[in-house]
């Protein structure tokens, strides 16, 4: 609170973690998967969100808790949780290249796909990967049905061959992508991250945000009028709530108000997600 204004504003804009109930539940499920005994039919999770509703922050938090570490005996790297993004379209070779690049494994981009598959399996075994996270899984819908089935078979084969669970994550269309494969659908437990609504969880979220903002006066974000206004502006996603509060807190410092009020929120330079979509449709 005693820092100069510019330093407090930089602190406001920094990335923050808030352990709200849904996030903690998702992390607990992922932790249970990581500890699951090895079997030929490993359980999987599908983290499904509305756009900008916390998925990436949850995945980063989990991966940060399970970073690669050198083994004490010989110094070899142990990589328990491997995070990758699905390629922009369902391309098997491109996916293998992404995996190999992620672990800094030397490889030839144009090698035959079969050779790449063997290399990926060998490298992930050497690294002791116990859980594979594939983000933006909805990208597979960019291909035709044949390409989609092929890509789903690829990740299913990797899970079976390595005997590791999968955590796939994406926006709501990700659910349709995985459901198109009956075997995968039966193995994936959906973990939804729905939009926020007025209730105790939402009010606790606002109180958590307020505790992290270095303003010198209380904003009372859980007050009904402020809470409803934030919910309306953000359209119910945590990423938008965070963005609005950061902008408002910076403005509160600039204006010497030192707290977030309805008047401050009205002055924030912010466009709602719906208005952004309307603009994109016009250009």
pLDDT at 73: 73
- For 44, 113, 136, 180, 191, the CA distances from 174, given in Å and listed in that order, are 14, 25, 8, 10, 12
pLDDT at position 3 is 87
Strands 131-135 and 81-85: parallel
Q: Which residues contact 112 (CB under 8 A, 6 or more apart)?
A: none
Distance CA 66, CA 195 (A): 28
**Averages of pLDDT over each 10 residues, the chain, 283 residues:** 90 93 96 94 92 93 94 82 96 96 92 95 96 95 90 93 95 83 84 95 97 96 97 96 97 96 96 84 63
pTM: 0.91
Q: pLDDT value at position 280?
A: 63
């Amino acid at each position: 609170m005693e820092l100069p204004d510019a330093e407090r504003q930089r602190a406001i804009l920094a990335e923050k973690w808030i352990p709200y109930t849904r996030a903690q539940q998702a992390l607990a499920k992922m932790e249970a998967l990581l500890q699951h005994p090895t079997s030929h039919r490993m359980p999987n999770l599908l983290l499904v969100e509305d756009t900008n509703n916390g998925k990436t922050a949850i995945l980063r938090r989990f991966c940060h808790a399970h970073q690669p570490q050198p083994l004490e005996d010989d110094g070899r790297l142990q990589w328990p949780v491997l995070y990758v993004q699905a390629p922009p379209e369902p391309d098997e070779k491109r996916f293998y290249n992404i995996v190999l690049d992620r672990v800094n494994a030397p490889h030839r981009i144009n090698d035959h796909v079969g050779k790449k598959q063997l290399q990926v399996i060998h490298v992930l075994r050497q690294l002791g990967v116990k859980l594979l996270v594939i983000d933006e899984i909805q990208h597979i819908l960019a291909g035709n049905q044949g390409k989609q089935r092929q890509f789903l078979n690829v990740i299913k084969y990797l899970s079976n061959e390595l005997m590791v669970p999968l955590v796939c994550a994406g926006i709501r269309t990700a659910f349709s992508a995985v459901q198109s494969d009956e075997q995968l659908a039966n193995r994936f437990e959906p973990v939804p991250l729905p939009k926020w609504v007025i209730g105790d969880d939402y009010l606790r979220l606002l109180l958590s945000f307020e505790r992290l903002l270095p303003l010198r006066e209380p904003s009372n974000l859980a007050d009904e009028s402020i809470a409803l206004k934030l919910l309306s502006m953000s359209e119910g996603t945590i990423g938008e709530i965070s963005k609005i509060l950061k902008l408002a807190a910076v403005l509160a410092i600039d204006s010497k108000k030192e707290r977030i009020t309805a008047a401050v929120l009205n002055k924030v330079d912010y466009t709602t997600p719906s208005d952004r979509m309307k603009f994109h449709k016009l250009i």
